[in-house]
Every structure is written in structure tokens, then in C-alpha cells.
Amino acid sequence: MPISFITSSAKVNSAGRKGRGIFATSVIPAGTTVAAFGGSITHRDEFSILPEYRRTHSLQIDEDLFLLCPDEDEPADLFNHSCAPNCGIGGNILLVAMREIQEGEELSFDYAMSDADDYDEFVCECGEIGCRRLITGADWRRPELQRAYKGWFSNYISAKIRQNSPAFDQASGQGLQH
Ligand SMILES: [Zn+2]
């Protein structure tokens, strides 16, 4: 029995250079919950000493809490990042279709919606126009992403956005350190 839920309207398939991904097998209406993530909840103190592979296969759910996926990949661990995603975060652990998704489309979300930590920086291969290339844990601070993903950030990031008026250096493209 898998730990996480994934909709029966999607399955694992090859996603080219990104490896594997999750693809719609039929039309998925906007607002559908396509996945619910489960795992071991780990505090930052223990999380920070785990091997990189375990840390990158996780979902941040609070400032200091991380949902660790099981040792063996299951379909819910294979949703890829995209800079032009069709899914967003509901609450802290749900993945929800932001718009109608067509059969054959890859399901993706922007990791800026869930990650506010630098444990999972990577170079993006999404190939979308406007791809940010380097994906970092400070991306949630970008005003254009806050506008585009309003209502689709993890709850704890929405709270951070409300609390900190975002300090963002447009010239360097870097979020300020806190
Ligand atoms: Zn990208």
C-alpha cells in the first residue's frame, strides 16, 4: 500500500531529460486533488544530516518540518517541477489541478510553491518560456511568482508572504538572506 495518494487519472511515464514524470491519462478538471503526500515528518535538526537523496525526495511542510518520502520511490514522488505548472499546493500536502489538464499532459508544480529552504537547489530542465533555470529556496520571494501562484503556495509559505513584505533585489535576481 503506497504511503501517498495519486489520482487514478494519471500514471508514471518517461519525461525525457527529466527522467520520469506523471502524465494525465484522461482530462482532469480544474480543482481536482491529484495527489496527497505522506511520509515521515522530520524536524530540520534531523533532516539536515540525512543523505542528499533523501533530502531532495521530500516535501517541506513548515518552516522546520519536512515530509520524508519512503526509501523506494512511489508515483507521488515523481511529480516534476515546472516553471509553467498546471498544479498547485492545497493546504500543505495536497496537489491540486490549477486548470483543466488534457490527456497526455505532464502534471507538474512549481517547487517554489512548497520549498523555502536551500536543500533542493537545481538547474531546471522544464524548457518553458520564462524558465528560471536555477531553482532555489528563495524563489517564493519573487513578486511575479507571488502574483501568479496566489492561493497555490503551501500554507506556511502563504503565512511567510503575509508576514514579511518581500524584500527582493530585482537587479541580481536573488532573494535577500534572512
Ligand atoms: Zn524551468
pLDDT 10s digits, 93-142: 999 999 999 999 999 999 999 999 987 789 998 989 999 999 999 999 99
Q: Give the CA diameter of the chain.
A: 49
Distance (angstroms) between ligand 1 centre and the Cα of 130 equals 7
Please list, in sequence order, all residues whose beta carbon lies within 8 angstroms of the beta carbon of residue 86, skipping any fewer than 6 positions away. Answer: 97, 98, 99, 101, 105, 107, 108
Cell of 88: 498547485
> Would you state the pLDDT for residue 30?
98
pLDDT for the residue numbered 165: 62
Question: Cα of 73 to ligand 1 centre, how many Å?
Answer: 23
Q: In angstroms, what is the span from residue 1 Cα to ligand 1's centroid?
A: 33
Q: How far is the CA of 30 from the centre of ligand 1 (A)?
A: 22
Q: Which CATH number fits domain 5-164: 3.40.50.1820, 2.130.10.10, 3.40.190.10, 2.170.270.10?
A: 2.170.270.10
Summarize pLDDT for 160-170 with one digit per residue, the tens.
Answer: 999 876 554 55
Measured in Å, residue 117 CA sits from the centre of ligand 1 at 18
What secondary structure letter does DSSP report for 133? S
